[in-house]
A and B are shown apart, each in its own frame.
Chain A
Amino acid sequence: MGNTQASGYHKILLDINLTTGEIKRTQIPQKDIEHFIGGRGLGMKILWDRLQKPGIDALSPENPLMFMPGPFSGFPIPSASRTVVVTKSPCTSPETSPYPQASTVSYSNMGGFLGPEIRFAGYDGIVISGKAATPSYIVIEDDRVEIRDAKAFWGMKTDAFDKILIKELNNQRFQTCYIGPAGENLVSYACILHTTARAAGRGVGAVMGSKNLKAIAVKGTGMPNVADLEAFNKSLSDVRSVFKGLTGGLLTGFWRKAGTAAALQMLSDDGLMAVKNYREGTFAEIDKINAKVAREKAWVRDFACYCCCLACKKSGAIKDGQYKTIVHDGPEYETGTMFGANLMISDFNGLMKSIYDGDDLGMDIISAGNVMGFLMEAREKGYVTQSDLDGIDLSWGNVDAVLSMLDKISRRDGIGDLAANGVKATSKQVGRDSEKFAIHVKGLELAAHNIHANPPRALCYATSNRGACHLSGDNIAHQNFVAAVDSLGLCLFASDHNKWMMPGISSKKMADLLTSITGVEYDRDKFMEAGERVFNLEKMFNLREGFTRADDWLPDRFFAEPFTMGPEKGAKLDRKEFTEMMDKFYTEREWDPKTTRPADEKLEQLGLGFTI
């Protein structure tokens, strides 16, 4: 059991080709491990290696779908629970490109227990390519890997499937992930779910569906070895102490109390929330759907991911009204905003039900809420009629209409077939000047953070390598830091990225842990440089696909339509200031401001010469 090499890695990828049924164990080169660490970084390197030419269709068998834990995964480091799903995005597209199927990288980061379990089973990642002839699922139990028939499960929603799958496996200790009807029907923003509510979104579920793959189940008994156990134990108790005592109590207390839902009230109060399809930054009725209401009306218990002290996940139940008896998490910041404030929904139980349905169907709630917000606005403005919408009354705040739309999108039925392609494609079909309020970057829908009054976040959305992403970092240092953290298997929320507000694990401590685990000397700078390397590799991938500076673009709304209410009333982005900020960003990154291409010297310096 385990391996004899004290390196912190198994150095093995589980390589499954669903077309041929071939199951291989592929060695990972030591250089790739040192350069790209794991998780998002190592996934990007494999994506670059396996997709040797641009323009490959993201939903084709060639596109690899990767489940990537990091070197922290499987070790009892607080909040080292994340799995990054890396693939080529089915959501994004450039303005112009020689390749019709061009798209960006995609990575989505999911909490829970899957990443550690992949490492217990003896792998540093799972790479799935090809396409199964019929619906299938994969069962991994240490060395035993089986591709099984999933025909009986195809079409099942995720909540029911989660319960049935664990019975089928007959062992509660399996960790599973799966798609719902949305993924099966190739809704471009379908999710992969784990424990029915933890999700890898941003389109990775459509890629899984395109492979006829319903689920993956993993269970393992091993563990990678530690290079220096004494130093590791010392660093570990050091890191554990971050979450104890006075300052640690502040951090853990914040997350335990309300999870990300705490931000519902805060960001609305600050004018930073996506409201009414990003038209406003403050929701007048936020006090009907905020964390306080959720705690009173729904939340039952707090739950945590592997070895996490924060417990930001809440479980709850709808206790009255027509949706009574539904059991689900209830609003987080993203779900509560995108299905709440952004659609002007203030009926708390209706919001809970929408979130339950979104997860149950296996859909990215960020994108689904964004697309429905767009259609509500288009209907209000008369760009589409109720009959265009198959008779669904998509007016602001209408929960029943949202539930009908979710069902139609997941089945690609009628108007749902169009909406399932994302807001960019929907806006193209709706036509006129609707692109001004189709809120996406590169085809990926913006998340629940509004930007009229937040220029750094605007830069984050515009320059993120997977399309509009609120978590990619608001400046260069932050972007590099996030890319490095995403490569460890560690949760960003447990890091000190928000240290002016909350304490957390510092990059110095991360580097210490990484050194003790791998035996390779990392200091803070080397760790951050790895993040920079990952970010630049992603950029090179996108450039190869034909993305240009014109794609680092933001919808007109943020420049043209100031907020009409709230503390940031009158706020909008200034086009000149934004352009200057972007110029400065490219220059400081040593990217050509015209083409956004990293300088060759920069690439060489980062060890990315192979991309030139």
Chain B
Amino acid sequence: MTSRTVLTKRLSRDTLTTPQTGSVAKGRRNTMLRWGLYAILILFALFYLMPLFVMLTTSLKSLEEIRTGSLLALPREITFAPWAEAWSSACAGTQCEGLRPFFWNSVLMAVPAVAISTVIGALNGYVFAQWRFPGANLFFAAILFGCFIPFQVVLLPMAQMLGLMGLAGTIPGLIFVHVIYGIGFTTLFFRNYYVTIPQELVRAAKVDGAGFFRIFFSIFLPLSLPIITVSVIWQFTQIWNDFLFGVSFSGPGSQPVTVALNNIVNSTTGVKAYNVDMASAIIAALPTLLVYVVAGKYFIRGLTAGSVKG
């Protein structure tokens, strides 16, 4: 959304500055162009929002209403019962405690994994961008390569590894896997951000007497808010939404919310409770939405930082 807003802003600014010399007809054509643009954008927005609309309305209907009413209709009577059930009593397999325990599993997994992978990425990026060492390019290529290894490839060796480390089926095990998988991306983010910081800054700090960590904490970290936001949003979304690692490496007590959501939707007793399923799905998706809403504006800024000067 934000990138579209930027586009329309730029267009409107252009249309505002040009008519000074142009004719009235040209100004009118620009206005029509702008309205056309808005119409297209609104159309796309509606299209993309449709599933969310269906999910939200269905989750607020009773089962009775879902059976009799239309898919797109607004609820006649709003009920929050499906939400309560999804949160605390829906059955995932044989366990009927709702999403709540699994939601906290996901929090316990995602928060440390995001924090650790971001910190390691920041340090890696700092080294690759500012402390070149022989073979640095090779190392960086290897780390980058890690971004492109499909999850399925590592399932078996990782299971073996976690078993050897005694972390199989535990939340720390999942944290470990996600940190390893995240380092490639976070390193790339931070390295590309820090490359835009002039080397003379490091040199000046060296002459001033600062060492490796002092330069990092006093000079680089305070500059890093935009890229930390990018890293956190990216990692949080990846880790929170991950299903494959969650289903492969978790035990009965450590399943993340995505796995539980799958189990709730798939374990039915007779009638399919669409409203509970929809409520569960929204609950499972809320944290990533929230992170983006809170920090979204830094996300775009961080992704484009350094690409254009000034």
Do the two chains bind? no
